[in-house]
């Protein structure tokens, strides 16, 4: 079952930075494997973000999340979290980058989500997708 099938609509507990007033998003599958998805605003159909489950391209990526963030989305265990990476599309897949500094966390049980800006100087907003792993 694909990510988008499991989580068709997510509710952002805090708006994504720079996008106040947008809290409800549909997770729309864009490929046959369910890896590439669009996080599309239900409030503004023109607002969407390309996302992928972080573990697909970055298997060792395991950001530390504060207790307050976990509480905001109602997570009690790491098994309940879908970690999404926001992409910036390049002219090709080779030019596409991932934002590892600000992942989107989704509680798979409640579909509550938030984007977290991490305080880790080792992470970047423009990590090449294909150099991962």
> Could you report the per-residue pLDDT of 63-114, keeping only the tens digit for each?
988 999 999 999 988 889 999 999 999 888 889 999 999 999 999 999 999 9
Where in the sequence is the domain holding 103, given as residue range(s)? 3-128
Evaluate whether residue 15 is within a structural domain. Answer: yes
Give the per-residue pLDDT at 98.
Answer: 96
- 5 pLDDT above the threshold of 70: no
Q: Is residue 32 part of a domain?
A: yes
Instruction: Look at residue 102 in the predicted model and tell me its pLDDT.
Output: 96
- Residue 52 counted as domain residue: yes
Distance CA 48, CA 96 (A): 16
Residue 98 lies in a domain: yes
Query: How many CB atoms neighbour CB 115 within 10 A?
Result: 20
CA 83 to CA 52: how far, in whole Å?
8
Query: What CATH number should be reported for the domain holding residue 39?
Result: 2.30.290.10
Q: Does residue 133 sit within a domain? A: no
pLDDT tens digits along 37-69: 999 999 898 999 999 999 999 999 999 889 999
Q: At 8, is the pLDDT very low, low, confident or very high (cuts 50, 70, 90)?
A: confident
CA torsion sign, 59 to 64 to 7 to 1? positive
Compare 8 and 75 and report the one with higher pLDDT: 75
Q: Does residue 4 have a pLDDT over 80? A: no
Query: How many domains is the chain built from?
Result: 1
Per-residue pLDDT, 133: 46
Between 40 and 34, the more confident residue is 40
Q: SS3 of 115, please?
A: strand
CA angle 94, 33, 56 (to 5 degrees): 55
The pTM of this model reads 0.88
Can you tell me the distance from the alpha carbon of 96 to that of 94, in angstroms, rounded to the nearest whole number? 6
In three-state secondary structure terms, 89 is: coil
Confidence class for position 3, pLDDT limits 50, 70, 90: low
């Amino acid at each position: 079952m694909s990510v988008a099938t499991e989580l068709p609509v997510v509710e952002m507990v805090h708006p994504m930075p720079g996008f106040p007033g947008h809290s409800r998003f549909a997770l729309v599958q864009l490929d046959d494997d369910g890896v590439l998805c669009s996080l599309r605003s239900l409030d503004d159909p023109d607002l969407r973000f390309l996302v992928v489950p972080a573990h697909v391209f970055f298997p060792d990526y395991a950001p530390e999340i504060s207790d307050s963030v976990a509480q905001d989305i109602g997570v009690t265990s790491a098994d309940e979290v879908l970690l999404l990476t926001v992409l910036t599309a390049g002219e090709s897949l080779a030019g596409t980058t991932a934002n590892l500094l600000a992942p989107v966390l989704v509680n798979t049980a409640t579909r509550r989500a938030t984007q977290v800006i991490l305080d880790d100087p080792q992470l970047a907003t423009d990590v090449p997708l294909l150099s991962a792993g």
